[in-house]
Structure 1
Amino acid sequence: MNKVQRVIKPLITTAIVSLLLSGCATPPPKNTSNLCEIFSEHRSWYDAAAKVRDKWGVPIHVPMSMMYQESSFKHNARPPMRWFLGFIPYGRASSAYGYSQAKTVTWDEYVKEANRFWASRDNFDDAIDFMGWYISKSQRLNGVSKWDAYAQYLNYHEGWGGYKRGTYNKKGWLIQVAKKVDSRATLYAGQLKGCEEDLKRGWLWRMFFG
C-alpha cells in the first residue's frame, strides 16, 4: 500500500461509517403537536425524559417544548449556511447542533460539569439531559422556575448573562417565540396527563394488555 492509499483509505472508511450511521438515525415524530403521540412513536424518549425529570427536577413538557422550537426533533439540525453574493458559502451563524441546538462552548461546559464525556448532541437521551442541566442552572443562576417555559426559553436563547442583562427586551420577535414555546409547553403538559400512566407501563404489560 503506497502513501496515498494509506491516507485515502481511512477517509473513505470514515465516510462510509458516517453514512451508515446517518441512515440508522431516529426520524422526527410524525405528529409533533401531540406529546402522547411523540412518546408513543418513540417510547425510549419518554424514559429518557422521565430520567431527566427525576435527575434535574425539570417537568417533561418544558424541555420537550423547547426542543421542538429548536430542532423540530431532528437529530442533526443546525443553523442554515450563510452565503456571500448568494452562492459562496462562508459558514453557519453559530455552532449550534443536534436535537437541543446546543452550541459547542455550552455543550463542552455541560460535558465537564455533568461528567458526561461520552455524550453526543445528536443523541436524544444526551440532548434532553443537556436541556435538563441547562434549565436547572437557569433556575440556580437567575431564579427562573423550572416550570416557567417562557423565561426558561429566554435563558436558553440569550444565555444566562444575556438574560440577566435583559437583552431579550430589545428583541420583540424573540419574545413572541418564547410565548409560543410557553403555549406549547402548556399543551404538552395537558396531553401528558392523559397518557403518562400508559407510558410508565413496561413492554411486557403492553404486549399482553396494550
Structure 2
Amino acid sequence: MSRTLCVMIMALMLASCGGGYSSPPSNMDNACAIARERPKYVRAFKATERRWGVPVAVQMATIYQESRFRGDARTPYRYALGIIPMGRQSSAYGYSQALDGTWDDYKKSTGKRRAKRDKMRDASDFIGWYMNESNRKVGISLTDARNQYLAYHEGHTGFSRGTYNSKSWLMRVAADVEARAILYESQLSRCRAF
C-alpha cells in the first residue's frame, strides 16, 4: 500500500472519531433519550440554565424547532426563475439558527469571541442570552416558551410591535414549541439520565 494511501486512510479514521455529532439524536421526541445519547448536550443545557435562567426544556424545544438538533443547519437557497441560485434565505446557521448580526452582538456582549454556532455549548448559551434579553427588554418570562419563541423569531422590536399576529403559520409554530417544551419538561422530570 502506498504511503499516500495510508496517510489518507489514517486521516479519514481520525476524522470519523471527532468530538462533534454529525447527525441529530435518534429519538428527538424523547428528552430522556436525547440526554442519554448526547450527554454533552445535557451539560450545555444545564450550564445555560444556571447562567441565564432559561429552563432546559425551553432551550431544547427551541433548538428542535430551529435546527432539529443539526449543528450544520442552514436556511434553504433562494432561486430566480426557479433554477438560478441566489444565495440563502438568510444568514441563519447552526443549532440555534442565529443570524450573523445577532451572533456578533452575542459575542460582543458576552466576550465569547471564539463562540461557534455549530457547537451546542455556544448555541445553547446564545439562546439563554437572547431569551434573557427578551425578558429584560420586553418582559417575557423565561419559562414562557411560546412568547420567547415569537421574540426569538421576530426580534425584540418585531415582538413589541406584534408583527407575529399577522403570521398564522408562526403562531402555530410557537404553539408547537410551547407544546414540545411542556412534553420535554414532563419527560425530564422522570428521567434518570438527567
Normalised by the length of structure 1, the TM-score is: 0.82
Query: For residues 137-156 of structure 1, what are the structure 2 equivalents within 5 Å?
Result: 137-156=133-152
Q: C-alpha offsets along residues 49-99 of structure 1, whole Å, 9 cap, x if unaligned?
A: 001000001110001101100000001001001111222101111100000
- The one of 106, 110, 115 equivalent to 2:111 is 115
Shift of residue 192, structure 1, vs aligned partner: 0.4
- The one of 53, 77, 80 equivalent to 2:76 is 80
2:74 corresponds to 1:68:
no
Instruction: Go from structure 1 to structure 2 and tell me whether the alpha carbon gap of 1:93 and 1:21 turns closer, same or farther (over 3 Å shift).
Output: farther
Q: CA RMSD in A?
A: 1.6
Once residues 80 and 128 of structure 1 are traced to their aligned partners in structure 2, the CA distance between those partners, rounded to angstroms, is 23
Cα pair 2:32 2:193 within 8 Å, conserved: no
Q: C-alpha offsets along residues 158-197 of structure 1, whole Å, 9 cap, x if unaligned?
A: 00010001100110110010000000000000000011x5
Q: Match of 2:159?
A: 163
Q: Match of 1:193?
A: 189
SS at match of 1:97: coil
Q: Match of 2:179?
A: 183
Aligned residues: 180
- More relative contact order, 1 or 2 (CA 8 Å, 6+ apart): 2
Once residues 74 and 191 of structure 1 are traced to their aligned partners in structure 2, the CA distance between those partners, rounded to angstroms, is 21
Q: Which amino acid aligns with 2:172?
A: Q
SS at match of 1:96: coil
SS at match of 1:184: helix
Q: Mind listing any 5+ residue stretches in structure 2 that lack a counterpart?
A: 1-10
Q: Which amino acid aligns with 2:166?
A: K
Instruction: Decide which structure has greater helix share.
Output: 1
Q: Match of 1:101?
A: 97
Larger CA deviation: 128-137 vs 84-93: 84-93
Once residues 177 and 22 of structure 1 are traced to their aligned partners in structure 2, the CA distance between those partners, rounded to angstroms, is 35
| Identical pairs, percent | 48
Structure 1 segments of 4+ aligned residues over 2 angstroms from their partners: 20-25
Once residues 73 and 21 of structure 1 are traced to their aligned partners in structure 2, the CA distance between those partners, rounded to angstroms, is 21
Q: C-alpha offsets along residues 90-136 of structure 1, whole Å, 9 cap, x if unaligned?
A: 11111000000000000000000011001000011100000000111
Shift of residue 198, structure 1, vs aligned partner: 3.7
Q: Match of 1:54?
A: 50
Once residues 198 and 172 of structure 1 are traced to their aligned partners in structure 2, the CA distance between those partners, rounded to angstroms, is 37
Q: Match of 2:128?
A: 132
Once residues 186 and 22 of structure 1 are traced to their aligned partners in structure 2, the CA distance between those partners, rounded to angstroms, is 36
Q: C-alpha offsets along residues 23-51 of structure 1, whole Å, 9 cap, x if unaligned?
A: 84402100000111001000111111001
Once residues 15 and 131 of structure 2 are traced to their aligned partners in structure 1, the CA distance between those partners, rounded to angstroms, is 30
Cα pair 2:93 2:117 within 8 Å, conserved: yes
Normalised by the length of structure 2, the TM-score is: 0.89
Q: Indicate the structure (1 or 2) with the bigger Cα radius of gyration.
A: 1
Instruction: Go from structure 1 to structure 2 and tell me whether the alpha carbon gap of 1:102 and 1:21 turns closer, same or farther (over 3 Å shift).
Output: farther
Q: Match of 1:3?
A: none
